[in-house]
Structures are given as C-alpha cells and as structure tokens.
Amino acid sequence: MFSFSLDRTAASLRGCRRFLLHPSGWQHLTLAVALLVLAPLTVLLLSWTEPAWGIWQHLRETLLSQLLINTFILVVGVTTGTLLLGVSLAWLTGACEFPGRTHFSWLLLLPLAMPTYVLAFVFLGLFDYSGPIQIPLRAWFGRDLWIPDIRSASGVVLVMSLALYPYVYLLTRNAFSTQGKRALEAAQSLGCSPTAGFFRVVLPMARPWIAGGATLVLMEALADFGAVSIFNFDTFTTAIYKAWFGFFSLAAAGQLSTLLVSMVFLLIVLEQKLRKRMRFSQSRVTAQAERIILNSAKKWLATSYCSGVLLIAFFLPALQLLRWSLKVFDLEFDNRYGMLLGRSLSLGLTAALFITVVATLLAYAGRRHPDRLTLSLIRISTLGYALPGTVLAVGIFMPLAALDNFLIDFARENFNFALPQLMQGTIIIMLLAYLIRFMAAGYKSIDSAMHRVTSNIDEASRLMGLRGLKLLVKVHLPMLRGGIFTALTLVFVDVMKEMPITLMTRPFGWDTLAVKIYELTSEGEWERAALPALTLLLCGLLPIVLLMRGTEGK
Amino acid sequence: MNPFRLTLLLVFLFSISNLTGQALADELVVYSARNEHLIKPLFDAYTHETGIKITYITDKEGPLLQRLKSEGRNTRADLLITVDAGNLWHAANEGVLQKIESPQLAANIPANLRDPDNRWFGLSLRARTLVYSTERVKPEQLSSYAALGEPKWRGRLLLRTSKKVYNQSLVAMLIAEYGEAQTEQIITTWVDNLAAPPFASDTKLMQAILAGQGDVGIVNTYYFGRLLKENPDLKLALYWPNQDSTGVHVNISGAGVTKYAKNPRGAVKFLEWLSSEKAQNLFADANMEYPVNPGVEAHAYVKSWGSFKASEMNLARAGELQSDAIKLMDRAGYR
C-alpha cells in the first residue's frame, strides 16, 4: 500500500553528492547509457547554432497552429483510446471470468505485431470512399448517404489506438496478475463493491504499469510519421520532415525535434513527480485473487467486446494482407525471402536480449541509487523512443561518421595506413542504435515489474550476503519474470518493425523484411508490400506466443 | 554461466559474424534512393556484361545525402542515384557531386534533363499529367494545369498531398512559368475546387476518381500505367495539358558521381552505359517510364497512352524554386 517516506529530498541530495564523488559501478552504467543516448540528442541541440528563423517564421505564419492542434488531438486521443481499450481488456482477462477468457488473454496481444503504418494503410484501403465497404453502401442507399470519413482526426486516432493498445494491455495485465487479492478483499471489507474496489484500489495499485504503457503510447504517437502521412494528417512530425525533405534544412528539423523531446521529457518528469511518494509493492506475496465471475448477460458482453476488438484490430487487417499476398505472390516472392526473414529474426532477437539486459541493469541501478542524478540519467536514456525515427537515425549516424573519419584520417596521416570504415555498417552499431531507440520499451516493462519487489527483500538478501549482480540474478530476476518477458517481446517486435535506423545503419546489401516493406511502399506498391508485411506479422506472433507461455506457465 | 554473460557473448558473436568486407579495386559503390527492385536488374546486367561488381545501399534521399555529407572524403560511394530533379539539384548544391565531362552523356541526354554544370544527369523520364474519368469528363473540357482552377471543376478536382516532391516540382515549374503571384492564385483556385482532402498517393487519388469522389486529378504516368495493367477496362484516361504552350511537366530519376568517389572513372563509365541504347529501356521500362535518350523508343505499352509535347525548361529550376513552391502551397492552404 502507499507509504510515505520522510526526508527523501535530503537523502536524494546526499545520493547525488555520492554519485559525484564516489560513483558505484551501477552509476557508471547509467552514465554510459545516458551518454550514448545523449550523443544523437547533442547533435540535434547543435542544430541551434544555426537557427533557421526563416523556416520557423514560415511555419508560424502558415501551419504551426493547425499542427499543434492536430498533435494535441492525436496524443490525447490515442492515449485515451489505448488506455480505455488496454485497461478494460486487461481487467477483463486478468481479473474476470467469461467464456473464452484464457484464449483472449493472449489473442489480444496479436495486434502488437501489426506495424502502425500497415494497419493505417489497410484501414484506409477498406474504409475509404473508394474502398469495398463504402462502394456497396452507396450503391444500396444512394450517393448522398452520410458515412463518417476515415481520413479524419478521429480515423487516425482510431487506427493508432487499435495498433498501440497492446502496449497498455500487456503492461497492465502484468500488474493485475501480480496483484494479490488481499488489497481488494480489504477494500471489500470496508464496504466497497467489486467495481468501486477496482477503481479505488486495483487501478491505483497498477499505476506504474499503466503509466509506463501510456508513456510508450504517447511517445509512439508523437514520433509517428508513417500512419499520419498515410492519412495526410499533419502533425508536429510532419513539420520536422517538411523542414528537412522539403526545405532541405536538417538544422530546422533538428531544432523542431529538440522541442518535441523536451516536451516528452517534461511529461515523463511530471508523471513521475505525481507518483513519487507512492509505493506499489505487495506487502506479502499472496495467492492470485479469485476471478470475478461475470453473470449471463455480462459474460457474453465481455466475450463479444474482446472478439470485436480482436476482429477489427487483427483478423480483418491480417485477412486483407493475406488476400493481397496471394495476389502478388508469384510476382513478389523469391528466394531472398528466407534470408530477409533470417535477418529480421536474428536482429530482433539479439537486440531484444541486449536491450533487456541493459534495461534490467538500469532498473536495478535506479533502485539501488534513487538519487536525483541517477534517476535523471535513466530518464534521459529512454528519450530515444520519442524522436521521429529518421531524425534519430541521422543523429546517430553523424557522430559515428565523424568518429570514422577521425580514425581513418589519423591512421593515414600517422601510419600511412588506409583504414576502412570501422563504425559504419557493423551489427554492433545497429544494436547500439536500437538501444538508443528502444531503451524505453525495455525499461518501462522491467522498471514497473520491479516496483512489486519490496525493499524488505533486498535487505533480507543483503543480510544473507547477496549483493549487487548476485542479488539481481538470484533474487530479483525470478520475481521479474513477467516484466522481462514483456520487455523481450516489446523490443523484439519493435526492432523488427523499425525502418529508418535499420535503413541507415545496416551493412551494404543487408536487407530485412522492414527494409523490403520500405522499398515497396516508398513507390506506392502497397499490395506487393503485403507479402513482407504478412511475413513480419507472422514472425512477430512467435515471441507473443512464447511470452504467453513464459508468463502464464509459472 | 549467468544469463547476462551469456547474452553479451551471444551479442558479441552475432556482431562479429557480420563484419562487412571492404571495397574491391574496380568495384562500384552506389547510394540509391531509387528502389532496389528498379535498379538491381540493371546492376546485374552491368555486372554480367563487364564483370564489375556493384555494391549498393538504398535509403530515402534525405538520409543518403546526409550520409554523404557526414562521410566527407572517406565515403565509399561512387554514385548517387535518386528520384526527382529537386533532390538532384539539392545534392549538387550541397557539394556532394562532381562535374563530369563526358561527350557521350551530353549526346545521349537532352540538355534540359541534366545539370547545366554537368553534376547530375537524368536517366528516365516521367510526366506529371492530368487524369480524368472517361465517364464524366470529355477531354475537350480540359486544357492546362492552370485551368483546373476554373469554377466548372468546383467539387470535382482531386490532388495528392503538397508534401510529395512531385507536386513541389510541378508548382516550382508553374512559378517559373507564371511568376509567384499568379501561381499562388492558381493554387488557391485548385484548393477551392477540391472534392476531398489531398490524398497520400497517386493510386488512391485515381481509385477515388473511379469511385466517383472526384472527376479529374494530377498524377505521374507510371501510377496510371500500373492501375491500367491491373484493370485494362479502366474508366480513366490521361490528358496532356499545356500542349499549345509550355508542354507537359516532366520529371526525372537520375544520378551523379560523388565528389569523393574512389572510382570516378568507373562511375562515369557506368553512367554512360545507363544512358546508352541498350540500358535505357531496361532502366525506363522497369517502372513504365520514358527513356531520356531521344534515340530510344519507349515501351509499346507506355507509348499506347499517347504522345505529348514535354516541357523543355531545365529541371534545375525545379530545385531552385522548390522551397518557394512549398511556402506558396502552405500559404494557399494546399495540404
């Protein structure tokens, strides 16, 4: 339950001083990761050395107000939409009993594997004026029939909410399933109905998870360019790309991006400030709460709600992809698909392991040293998720190229030796770049899970001589199991879907499924892109099924 | 072994197993914003003919250009292939391309389709022209790009987003032709005539015309070709505007040799080969485009859409005027 600690500020200040004077290994690690993320952010900050006032002024005079309104609608709409969907579904499958619950529990994760841009394209194809739904409707009811336009603010919000709700669902379900029944029983003994208990006890206790999922969604929505450009819905990212690709001013794009990152940073700080004094650990590990058995009408309502979401967010688009794939199969399929698949899988898997390990270490570092400095460094480490992909890719590439140039020139001038480019186009660089991008996805999953481990456990373990890495591996790791599987899945799926960083940092000729999708869609060959998209979708299902085994089978 | 060490070991092994080899002496390295499936057949044909290996990487124009700039003189790239004259002009303007003296390129490629300073060369041509519903529009009703702003098209015009570089080049050419004030007026009337918010792709635009959302629009020829191939009974046709005046707006995909190319002679040879008769059809036909080389006939299928008088303005103007064009469209409320 909530407990309040005294003198946290003073303790935090002492912690900061200790960090500066005698940093521990954990703090070195947080510093290293934060510096890594700061490198591309610094590149963006440096863009302010040549302020592009002309472009700023043009944007202010023409587009900016509309862009800000649109961005606001998008972020608020998608965050609300994913929270409603994610939390309600997590509550139903995590705490209630109704027909098909065990299957829905994992089926509802499937949309995670569906890239937002793919869902956006499929939805537009199906529901637009020229799509197979509207044409017959007009044929039956006449041309003047009013049908809501999918190419609108609400259309984008709907599509992105459907694509992104699994982030909230996945994390929140973890919270509900690790929450014992004691809290709810206590609430009920104080006269709360199950529903009131849900809102007054269960939901607040799950807050770090819900907030973690919502933060991921918010960052995704802010950074998204694929889905919004398919809908031609102009947001702040549109301005960034317009500055770069239209006005050819990377400086202006960088400046606009710094604004975006600062906004996200403020939101993260604010959210953490608001729940700073709260504790979310279980007083004792207790049995899973008994499920609320839904009665006749309610249970079928729950079943149809889950099936409805699943149908719209997954099966309908997947079917459409399959239809297109069959149509283009002969044209598009060749023997390179095996290789593309292999690379996507191995890259996703390696990156998932790597990022999850670093995220676990960071989360533990934050637990051991909850001083302001360490926590700020950790927050910085997660900012890469909020940047538009292409901008971040360039931010990562520029310092790398500079380092390579330095090494090559140094070798040539001092040793008359022609050094090849060492940094660019190696997998290790790709992995580091993914770390910068997807740290948030790994960290949020594990950090929220760590909130369930009481500090008593740490103290008891230390008394028994378990410290540092040993404590983490022997005591925390088994308790973090759910969080770790979540992190692995999120990162794996995210990496496989990622385009701009993969495009920019991959070795020559080293293509993946996402690269293939980019190649085809950039010239509008969306139907041909269905084949790699469907393959990607199937790959993404793999870890989701494993995840379910991992978390359910304990 | 504890899970952390095991993971780090795996990561390390995976990483070193993929270290890339470095360039060979007569190898060519290409950075391309033109899609892989459109250029790879040409690379394969060239390798087959000459034995010269071509290594390439694809990405969007913006990142590729930034990559060239950041790598500076240590870049591995010999050649930059990209789409749209504005992008080529900008690459030259940023100083990543070098001047080339090649009589063969000068002979094969018309002067308005290459850089006046010989830093980039068009390799295939596409027209951005009008498309109309054959059910609801008679071709006599159409005349020029500007005339799409006439009141008779109110609620009937469909456009693709102004964020697409093809439209930016088109409007840049209109500015070159009419001047800024008059162009802004034309674009404003276009916006007034829109039947639906601008689309994200030419294909979507044409599908909307088919479904009756609008009657006329502006598209690149090859998108029309693709749709027609899927459905030969397409109730759409192309119209060639400005035939009495400046001609149809054309654009190119093209290439330039990078300033710090390690194999500049090889790169020029390859460019010359690409502009030659035997490669031009391979290059253009892959995407249903027109060859730039006047001595080479377009594919019969492409020719079946009709012949037209093309604009002869040098495409470098599209690059110079691109940001003016974008600002103008923003002011006119063309999203």
Q: B14 in a domain, yes or no?
A: no
Q: B194 in a domain, yes or no?
A: yes
pLDDT at site A479: 84
CA angle A219, A221, A227 (to 5 degrees): 140
Q: A369 CB contacts (<8 Å, ≥6 apart)? A: A15, A18, A19, A24, A26, A27
Q: A233 or A452: which carries more pLDDT confidence?
A: A233
Q: State the pTM of this model.
A: 0.90
Q: Is B218 helix (H, G, I), strand (E, B) or coil?
A: strand
Q: Which of A258, A262, A266 is nearest to A52 (CA)?
A: A258
> Is any Cβ of chain B less than 8 angstroms from the Cβ of A427?
yes
DSSP string covering A155-185? HHHHHHHHHHHHHHHHHHHHHHHHSBSHHHH
pLDDT at site A474: 82
Q: B157 in a domain, yes or no?
A: yes
Q: Which of B7, B63, B70 shows the shortest C-beta gap to A503? A: B63
Q: A112 CB contacts (<8 Å, ≥6 apart)? A: A166, A167, A170, A489, A490, A493, A540, A544
Contact B72 A405 (CB under 8 A): yes
Residue B195's domain spans which residues?
A: 126-249+315-331
Asked if the model's pLDDT at residue B25 lies above 60, the reply is: no
Residues A376-403 have a mean pLDDT of 89
Residue B244 to chain A, least CA–CA distance (Å): 31
In chain A, residues with a C-beta closer than 8 Å to the C-beta of B9 are none
The label of the residue with tokens 């302001």 reads: A372
Together in a domain, B136 and B227: yes
Residue A82 to chain B, least CA–CA distance (Å): 25
Q: B16 in a domain, yes or no?
A: no
Q: B199 in a domain, yes or no?
A: yes
Q: A27 in a domain, yes or no?
A: no
pLDDT at site B23: 45
pLDDT at site A554: 38
Q: A28 in a domain, yes or no?
A: no
Residues A233-241 have a mean pLDDT of 93
Q: Cβ-count burial of B230 within 10 angstroms (0-12 exposed, 13-18 middle, 19+ buried)?
A: exposed
* Euclidean distance between CA atoms A313 and A164, whole angstroms: 10
Question: Chain centroid to CA A320: how far?
Answer: 25
Together in a domain, B51 and B140: no
Together in a domain, B150 and B228: yes
Residues A186-213 have a mean pLDDT of 84
Q: Which of A58, A232, A425 shows the shortest C-beta gap to B330? A: A58
Question: Chain centroid to CA A221: how far?
Answer: 10
Q: Which residues pair with B58 in a beta bridge?
A: B32
Identify whether the C-beta of residue A257 lies closer than 8 Å to the C-beta of residue A391. yes
pLDDT digits (tens, 9 = 90+) for B292-326: 999 999 999 999 999 999 999 999 999 999 999 99
Residues 464-503 on A with a CB inside 8 Å of B are 469, 473, 477, 500, 503
Contact B63 A231 (CB under 8 A): no
Q: A103 or B216: which carries more pLDDT confidence?
A: B216
Contact B323 A469 (CB under 8 A): no
Identify whether the C-beta of residue B27 lies closer than 8 Å to the C-beta of residue B263. yes
DSSP string covering A271-336? HHHHTTT-----SS--PBPPPEEP-HHHHHHHHHHHHHHHIIIIIHHHHHHHHHHHHHHHHH--TH
Choose the weakest-confidence range: A68-77, A175-184, B6-15, B229-238: B6-15
* Euclidean distance between CA atoms A72 and A63, whole angstroms: 14
pLDDT at site B100: 95
Q: A385 in a domain, yes or no?
A: yes
Q: Which of A2, A3, A1 is nearest to A185 (CA)?
A: A1
Together in a domain, B119 and B130: no
Contact B60 A511 (CB under 8 A): no
Strands A96-97, A292-293: pairing kind: parallel
Q: A426 CB contacts (<8 Å, ≥6 apart)? A: A507, B15, B18, B19, B20
CA-based nearest residue in chain B for residue A391: B63
Residues B220-240 have a mean pLDDT of 96
Together in a domain, B48 and B59: yes
CA neighbours within 13 Å on the CB side: how many for B243?
Answer: 12
Asked if the model's pLDDT at residue A136 lies above 80, the reply is: yes
Residue A391's domain spans which residues?
A: 44-281+290-552
Together in a domain, B55 and B153: no
Q: B136 in a domain, yes or no?
A: yes
Q: B18 in a domain, yes or no?
A: no
Residues B209-237 have a mean pLDDT of 96
pLDDT at site B15: 58
Residues A325-346 have a mean pLDDT of 90
Q: A124 CB contacts (<8 Å, ≥6 apart)? A: A131, A150, A151, A230, A231, B200, B204
Confidence band of A4 (pLDDT split at 50, 70, 90): very low
> Is any Cβ of chain A less than 8 angstroms from the Cβ of B9?
no
Q: CATH no. for residue A509?
A: 1.10.3720.10
Q: A9 in a domain, yes or no?
A: no
Q: CATH no. for residue B170?
A: 3.40.190.10
Confidence band of A5 (pLDDT split at 50, 70, 90): very low
Asked if the model's pLDDT at residue A178 lies above 60, the reply is: yes
Residues 56-85 on A with a CB inside 8 Å of B are 58, 61-63
* Euclidean distance between CA atoms B178 and B165, whole angstroms: 20
Q: B240 CB contacts (<8 Å, ≥6 apart)? A: B127, B129, B130, B248, B306, B308, B309
* Euclidean distance between CA atoms B262 and B266, whole angstroms: 9
The label of the residue with tokens 């010989």 reads: B118
Together in a domain, B49 and B197: no
Q: What is the DSSP letter of A553?
A: T
Contact B70 A401 (CB under 8 A): yes
* Euclidean distance between CA atoms A407 and A391, whole angstroms: 25
Asked if the model's pLDDT at residue A67 lies above 90, the reply is: yes
Contact A62 B14 (CB under 8 A): no
Q: Is A464 helix (H, G, I), strand (E, B) or coil?
A: coil
What mean pLDDT, rounded, does chain B reach? 93
Residues 102-121 on B with a CB inside 8 Å of A are none
Strands B54-58, B236-239: pairing kind: unpaired
Q: Which of A401, A427, A508 shows the shortest C-beta gap to B57? A: A508
Residue A33 to chain B, least CA–CA distance (Å): 15
What is the number of domains present in chain B? 2
CA angle A484, A487, A491 (to 5 degrees): 145
Q: Which of A93, A230, A263 is nearest to A165 (CA)?
A: A93
Residues A401-416 have a mean pLDDT of 87
* Euclidean distance between CA atoms B72 and B276, whole angstroms: 31
Together in a domain, B201 and B96: no
Together in a domain, B164 and B120: no
pLDDT at site A288: 60
Q: How many CB pairs under 8 A join A and B?
A: 169
Q: What is the DSSP letter of A419?
A: P
pLDDT digits (tens, 9 = 90+) for A512-524: 999 999 988 887 8
Q: What is the DSSP letter of A266?
A: H
> Is any Cβ of chain A less than 8 angstroms from the Cβ of B188?
no
Asked if the model's pLDDT at residue B22 lies above 50, the reply is: no
Q: What is the DSSP letter of B198?
A: P
What is the number of domains present in chain A? 1
Together in a domain, B147 and B134: yes
User: How many C-beta atoms surround the C-beta of residue B300 within 10 A?
Assistant: 8
pLDDT digits (tens, 9 = 90+) for B233-289: 999 999 999 999 999 999 999 999 999 999 999 999 999 999 999 899 999 999 999
Asked if the model's pLDDT at residue A72 lies above 50, the reply is: yes
Q: Which of B71, B197, B326 shows the shortest C-beta gap to A247? A: B326
Together in a domain, B103 and B36: yes
| Element housing B210 (H / E) | helix B202-211
* Euclidean distance between CA atoms B206 and B195, whole angstroms: 13
Residues 141-180 on A with a CB inside 8 Å of B are 143, 151
Residue A346 to chain B, least CA–CA distance (Å): 9
Residue B194 to chain A, least CA–CA distance (Å): 15
Q: B2 in a domain, yes or no?
A: no
Q: A302 in a domain, yes or no?
A: yes
* Euclidean distance between CA atoms A453 and A284, whole angstroms: 10
The label of the residue with tokens 């070193």 reads: B16
> Is any Cβ of chain B less than 8 angstroms from the Cβ of A250?
yes
Contact A506 B57 (CB under 8 A): yes
The phi and psi torsions of B54 (rounded to 5 degrees) equal: -120, 120
Q: How is residue B97 written in tokens?
A: 């391309």
Together in a domain, B72 and B204: no
Confidence band of A263 (pLDDT split at 50, 70, 90): confident
